[in-house]
Amino acid sequence: MQAYTDAVRLLAGYCESHGQPLLAGELQREHIRAFITDQLARWKPATAHNRYRGLHAFFKWAVAEGDLQASPMNGMRPPQLPEQTVDAVRPEHLTRLLTHGLTRPGAAGKLGPVRRTRTWLEPA
């Protein structure tokens, strides 16, 4: 819910500072597109994408409530998110984590690294 209200609040601030309409019923697709373009220039694509989704939900709600005849976002597509690769955990890092990262000095009654490793990795 916070993301939706943030997106609407930021859109209102953008519209006010750029002399665009402040009423939802007066906004056009080009106003929303300009705002999203501005967000892409300022933030990461994922942030602009979340703002797009928040606005989309808001306008969909406004139409469902009868406050708008149609969403100014009809036919718009969200900003593209670049595909991000995630490095796999290398075997030596996993071994180090499993042998050194699972015990706390002086932690009475805690499982040691070997028992925890078996607990986590061996099938039941």
Rounded to a whole number of angstroms, the CA Rg of the chain reads 24
Please report the beta strands in the chain, taking only residues with DSSP state E, as ranges in sequence order.
Answer: none
If one compares 117 and 51, the residue with the highest pLDDT of the two is 51
The alpha carbon of 69 is separated from its chain's Cα centroid by a whole number of angstroms, namely: 28
Does this model's pTM top 0.75? no
Percent of the chain predicted with pLDDT > 70? 80
* Contact predicate 29/75, CB 8 Å: yes
Closest Cα to residue 31, out of 71, 3, 63, 72? 72
User: Is residue 91's pLDDT more than 90?
Assistant: no
Alpha-carbon distance 22 to 11, whole Å? 9
The predicted model gives 52-78 an average pLDDT of: 96
Domains of the chain, by residue range, sit at 2-64, 91-121
